[in-house]
Amino acid sequence: MINKPISYGRQYISDEDIQAVVDTLKSDYLTCGPAIPAFEKAFSEYVHCKYAVAVNNATSALHLAAIALGVKPGDNVICTPMTFASSANCIRFCGGNVKFVDINPKTYLLDLDKLKETLESAPKGTYKGMVLVDFAGYPHNMEEYRKVADEYGMWILEDACHAPGAYFIDSTGEKVFCGSGKYSDITVFSFHPVKHITTGEGGMACTQNKEYYEKMALYRTHGITHDVDKLQRKDGLWYYEMQELGYNYRITDIQAALGTSQLKRARKNVEIRRELVRKYNEAFTDIEGIKTPYEADDVYHAYHLYIIQVEDRLGLYNYLRENKVYAQVLYYPLNLMPYYKQFGNKEGDLPIVEEYYKHCLALPMFPTLTEEQQEYVICKVKEFVSK
Ligand SMILES: *Cc1c(COP(=O)(O)O)cnc(C)c1O
């Protein structure tokens, strides 16, 4: 019997995680101590990047990335409409304009052909960069996007909030992890409780580029530096300089300790998610009216979300809810949010994302979902669809 509602995602906190937090609370530092660089190091090893900047949430990480990439008022930046608001908002924080380009109907990622069409139809230099979101955990073939970006002199900001642990295989046969920065300039992750690993609230910006790294680190802490090599005047050891108008986007040591502990199970948990996907897919293969998610042979999808497409989405959503299964709809197209409509975006502009939105539903997907719970969810979905 299922007595507690099953949500679409939930955090997984172990006794070891709790101990790591308690240990930090008893230590000398609650913030700006050794747990933060330790977390940055562990995370950069996990995603194979050189530099990582831990911050208080991914929205801050996106903002820092947009600053480091040099987004200025009036700059035009391309963005996918199938994402959480922050992916585009970070461009607006810097005064840039967001141009939404439609998604691919199979992967739900920003469509490569439509991207090319958009770039070809504008004078060269119109667009400074693109924000690409590894939606649901599906990693872009970033090598292909990089070719296009290079042709037009654009940067790539990758929002991999859904995709730590995911990778694609490039033309050299290498596994390119989201965050490695082999093809994107900066990659951002979130540690909100519904994401793969959590720090309560938290985020990370990863890059191979030292300049971007230093800029993001500076802006994370008020634009203040203590680095004697960078100070403009000499004084005692107390002396620091505020060199830019930065922010306080710091994460705490308490959170970073939790993150490092969580990270130990991250790889295993992606495998568990993929096993849950295998079971869902198997259960739904022969069911008329359910489209299961696509995954190409050259990608390793991290499945932050398990999204099906169904004809009567509202009906299924309500039926599941009556039966204590809290499936979720992600996302309402960002270009159609009232805020973004003021810039001239309107219904009908991007038909594929609108079609996707009408039918999408994310079923429960998290590592502690039990076999009994998953079977119950499958049973309820089948009951509704066969009615
Ligand atoms: C969760 C999420 C964010 C924002 O993350 P926060 O840590 O809550 O600021 C940004 N982009 C995507 C794709 C997300 O899923």
Mean pLDDT score, 223-247 = 96
User: In this structure, what token pair is assigned to residue 379?
Assistant: 């049973």
From the alpha carbon of 201, which atom of ligand 1 is closest? 7
Mean pLDDT of 233-257: 97
Residue 203 in contact with ligand 1 by CB distance below 6 A: yes
Task: Give the number of other CB atoms < 10 A from CB of residue 213.
Answer: 20
The pLDDT value recorded for residue 326 is 97
CATH 3.40.50.300 given to domain 266-385: no
Residue 20 has pLDDT above 90, yes or no: yes
Q: pLDDT digit string (tens) for 70-97? A: 999 999 999 999 999 999 999 999 999 9
Largest CA distance in the chain: 78
The ligand 1 atom at the shortest distance from the C-alpha of residue 202 is 7
Q: What is the pLDDT of residue 2?
A: 77
What's the mean pLDDT in 362-368? 97
Query: Does the CB atom of residue 361 touch ligand 1 within 6 A?
Result: no
User: DSSP letters of 165-205?
Assistant: T-EEE-TTS-EEETTS-SS-SEEEEE--TTSSS--SS-EEE
Q: How far apart, in whole angstroms, are the C-alpha atoms of residue 249 and residue 59? A: 10
261 Cα to the center of ligand 1, angstroms = 21
**pLDDT tens, position by position, 144-200:** 999 999 999 999 999 999 999 999 999 999 999 999 999 999 999 999 999 999 999
Give 264-296 as a 3 state SS string.
CCHHHHHHHHHHHHHHHHHHHCCCCCEECCCCC
> CATH number for the 15-263 domain, one of 3.40.190.290, 3.40.640.10, 1.10.150.20, 1.20.1050.10?
3.40.640.10
Verify cis geometry, omega within 30 degrees of 0, for the bond prior to 12. no
pLDDT for res 3: 81
Cβ distance 290 to 234 under 8 Å? Answer: no
Any ligand 1 atom below 6 A from CB of 205: no
Helix, strand, coil percentages in the chain from 3-state DSSP, rounded to 5: 40, 20, 45
Other beta carbons within 10 Å of 356: 21
User: What are the helix (H) ranges across 94-141?
Assistant: 112-120
- Check if 9 has its Cβ closer than 6 Å to any atom of ligand 1: no
> Angle at CA 40, nearest 5°, toward 245 and 300?
115
pLDDT, tens digit (0-9, with 9 covering 90-100), for 280-311: 999 999 899 999 999 999 999 999 999 999 99
How far is the C-alpha of 334 from the C-alpha of 337, rounded, in Å?
5
Residues of the chain with pLDDT > 70, as a percent, come to 100
Q: How confident is the model at residue 1 (pLDDT cuts 50, 70, 90)?
A: low
DSSP single-letter state for residue 111: P
Q: Are strands 306-310 and 290-291 parallel, antiparallel or unpaired?
A: antiparallel
Q: Measured between alpha carbons, how far is 360 from 328 in angstroms, rounded to an integer?
A: 9
User: In sequence order, which residues have a C-beta less than 8 Å from that of residue 149 and are 6 or more positions away?
Assistant: 129, 130, 155, 156
Outline which parts of the chain fall under CATH 3.40.640.10: 15-263
Is pLDDT above 80 for 331?
yes
Residue 69 pLDDT greater than 80, yes or no: yes
Cβ 83 under 6 angstroms from ligand 1? yes
pLDDT at residue 328 above 90?
A: yes
Residue 111, pLDDT > 90, answer yes
- Helix axes 112-120 and 142-151, enclosed angle (nearest 10): 0
Q: For the CA atoms of 195, 199, 203, 208, what is the dihedral angle to 10 degrees? A: -100
Of all residues in the chain, what percent carry a pLDDT higher than 90? Answer: 98
Mean pLDDT, the chain, rounded, equals: 97
Q: Which of 25, 66, 2, 22 has the alpha carbon at shortest distance from 249? A: 66
Q: Report whether residue 87 contacts ligand 1, using a CB cutoff of 6 Å.
A: yes
Ligand 1 centre and the CA of 304: distance in Å? 12
Amino acid identity, position 337: M
Answer whether 134 contacts ligand 1 (Cβ < 6 A): no
Sorted by sequence, the CB contacts under 8 Å of residue 271 that are 6+ apart come out as: none
Residue type, 387: K
C-alpha Rg value of the chain to the nearest Å: 22
Measured distance CA(101)–CA(80) in Å, rounded = 6
Q: How far apart are CA 263 and CA 343, in angstroms?
A: 40
Question: What is d(CA 229, CA 160) in angstroms, rounded to the nearest whole number?
Answer: 34
Residue recorded with tokens 């660089």: 37
Q: Where in the chain is the domain with CATH 3.90.1150.10?
A: 266-385
Amino acid at 72: K
Token pair 């909100």: residue: 192
The neighbour count for residue 298, using CB atoms within 10 Å, is 14
- 58 pLDDT band, cuts 50/70/90, is very high
Q: Calculate the CA 15 to chain-centre distance.
A: 27
